[in-house]
């Protein structure tokens, strides 16, 4: 039980990865603050013994997070581990995207990461340490050719991770990033007219099989554990080697 007495906040506790994260940490003894979790997941993690608080904050504004922290503090003494898992994807192109989608995508995917880091980092500093993990994607590096605002946001998080690891590292707060590749069921999002390999991604993963959300959750659990205490500002790519193929 690596996370007994630890409180973990998962910003987006729905979707494949969000749910796998919640179940993984609950199964290792953690209590959970879950963003936008559905009732089935809540039942599952409670069954595993976790104390759970479900929250629905607006992370894209400072005051939204200020309210959230008060809400959390009424139930738990602190947050030990922040897992930023926001991910909003909308198909567009550089030529046609509009101001509204620019604001929405970058706010939800990147600005929220900054704000969450800023507030929870401050709180962890007061509490003597913690861990921040950003669930990002291989699109910190590889273009999507279908969702440019998403990949721009991912690369923003990539630098946020590096800056945060310097700024908060002195306070025993480790910041790291997981760059997730294609997972089972990603056929819908992993498409592009310009980068054809995305349409047939299994073929380009050396093991010929997309990832499972549990494989991502396992890495997050390792990074959040004391075993990873010397890992700070790192990026771990979890894509089965997909990105290394270029033709």
Interface residues toward other proteins, by CB under 8 A: 61-62, 93-95, 97, 99, 102, 106, 110-111, 114-115, 117-118, 121-122, 139-140, 142-145, 148, 151-160, 162-168, 194-195, 233
Q: How far is the CB of 244 from other proteins (least distance, A)?
A: 16
Nearer to other proteins, 16 or 139 (CB): 139
Q: How far is the CB of 42 from other proteins (least distance, A)?
A: 31
- Give the DSSP letter of residue 194: S
Q: How far is the CB of 128 from other proteins (least distance, A)?
A: 17
What span, in angstroms and rounded, lies between the C-alpha atoms of 201 and 97?
A: 26
Nearer to other proteins, 12 or 137 (CB): 137
Q: How far is the CB of 37 from other proteins (least distance, A)?
A: 27
**Residue carrying the six token digits 């080697």:** 241
Q: How far is the CB of 89 from other proteins (least distance, A)?
A: 13
Nearer to other proteins, 11 or 151 (CB): 151
Nearer to other proteins, 68 or 115 (CB): 115
Nearer to other proteins, 110 or 223 (CB): 110
**Residue carrying the six token digits 């069954």:** 47
Helix axes 99-106, 148-169, angle to 10 degrees: 40
Nearer to other proteins, 29 or 233 (CB): 233
Six-digit token string for 39: 């009732």
Q: How far is the CB of 158 from other proteins (least distance, A)?
A: 6
């Amino acid at each position: 039980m690596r996370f007994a007495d630890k409180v973990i906040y998962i910003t987006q506790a729905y979707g494949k990865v969000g749910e796998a994260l919640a179940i993984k940490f609950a199964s290792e003894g953690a209590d959970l603050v879950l963003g936008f979790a559905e009732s089935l997941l809540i039942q599952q993690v409670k069954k595993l013994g976790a104390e759970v608080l479900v929250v629905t904050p607006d992370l894209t504004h400072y005051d939204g997070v200020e309210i959230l922290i008060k809400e959390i503090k009424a139930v738990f003494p602190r947050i030990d581990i922040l897992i930023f898992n926001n991910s909003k994807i909308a198909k567009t192109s550089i030529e046609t995207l509009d101001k509204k989608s620019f604001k929405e995508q970058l706010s939800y995917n990147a600005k929220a990461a900054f704000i969450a880091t800023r507030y929870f980092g401050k709180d962890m500093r007061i509490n003597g340490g913690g861990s921040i993990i950003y669930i990002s994607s291989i699109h910190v590096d590889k273009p999507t050719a279908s969702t440019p605002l998403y990949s721009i946001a991912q690369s923003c998080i990539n630098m946020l991770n590096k800056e945060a690891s310097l700024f908060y590292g002195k306070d025993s707060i480790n910041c790291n990033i997981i760059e997730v590749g294609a997972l089972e069921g990603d056929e819908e999002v992993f498409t592009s007219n310009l980068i054809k390999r995305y349409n047939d991604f299994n073929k380009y993963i050396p093991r010929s099989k997309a990832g499972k959300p549990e494989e991502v959750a396992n890495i997050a659990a390792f990074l959040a554990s004391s075993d990873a205490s010397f890992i700070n500002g790192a990026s771990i790519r979890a894509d089965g080697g997909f990105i290394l193929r270029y033709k």
